[in-house]
Every structure is written in structure tokens, then in C-alpha cells.
Amino acid sequence: MIIEDEKSKKDTIDELNIKVENMKKEIKVTENKIKTDKNFRVSKMKDEMLEKIKKIKDEYMGTNTEQLNTLTQMTILQNNQLTNELEYQSNQTENLNMRNKILSESIKSISKDIELHQEVEKELAKRSNTLNRLIHIEEKKKAELVDKINRKKAAIKSSENDGM
């Protein structure tokens, strides 16, 4: 019974350790995805902006003031759109950072649970060993008493036989 409890607790600890490792891996993967995605988007936006700047420069060289006003308005609209996109990405990054923080706290909590389970397991092992020693001592005492009783019975029987 005690051995089964210890085995069950050990299995629980092993499962929790596996969960902790999986969560750590998930956090690393998520962080890498965020970094990769951010770098890709920044690079893409940079390339797009450079292309747009080049296009605007080329158009600027051959345009009149009316076209420049239209072009300026388009540029302002594009800048607003890019600002909105950057704001969205910033919000997404904040959300991912919050999730990362929550997962990290969860890992800390699980790690504390594992430590507690290990301490309980050690305490139960100590108690089990102590109780096993006591049982062994009591069994020896019992065997000695049974042997002593049997010897006394034999002595009484032999004295009754001698008395007859």
C-alpha cells in the first residue's frame, strides 16, 4: 500500500516534470516564432517602404503640383495604414509577452508543486522505513514469545506426565 502510494507520487512527479519541460519548450518556440515573425515583418516593411520611396521619388521627378498634392495625400494615407499595422503588431507582441509571463508563472507553480511532492515522498519513505523496522522488531518479539509459550507448555506437559 505504501509502496503503491510512493510509486503513484513518483509517477505524478515525473508527469509534472514532463509538463514543465514541455512548457519550457513551448515558451522557447513561441519566443522564436515571435522574433522570426517580427524580423520578417520589419524586413518586409523596410523593403516595401524603400520601394515606395523609390517609386515616389521617380514619380515626383515627373509630376506637377496637382499630382504632388494627390501623391502627398496618398503618402499620408499609407503612413496612417502603416502606423495602424505597427500598432496592431505591437499589441500582438504585448499579448504574446503576457502569455509568456503567464506560462512562466505556471512553470514556477508546477516546480513548487514538484518540490512539495518530493518532500512528501521523502517523508513518507522515512516513515515507511521506520514502521518497517518497528514491524520487524515486533515480529521478532512475537516469535520469541510464541517460542517461550511453547516451551512453557511443553514443560507443563512434561511435568504433568512426570506427575502421573
**pLDDT, mean over the chain:** 87
Q: What is the pLDDT along the chain (164 residues), one digit of tens a residue?
A: 667 777 787 888 888 889 889 898 998 998 888 889 888 888 888 888 889 888 877 776 665 666 667 878 889 999 999 999 999 999 999 999 999 999 999 999 999 999 999 999 999 999 999 999 999 999 999 999 999 999 999 988 888 877 66
- In the chain, which residue ranges form alpha helices assigned H by DSSP? 2-61, 65-163
Pull the grid cell for residue 47. 523593403
pLDDT in tens, 89-115: 999 999 999 999 999 999 999 999 999
Q: What is the rounded distance in angstroms from the CA atom of residue 17 to the CA atom of residue 32?
A: 23
CB 103 within 8 A of CB 23: yes
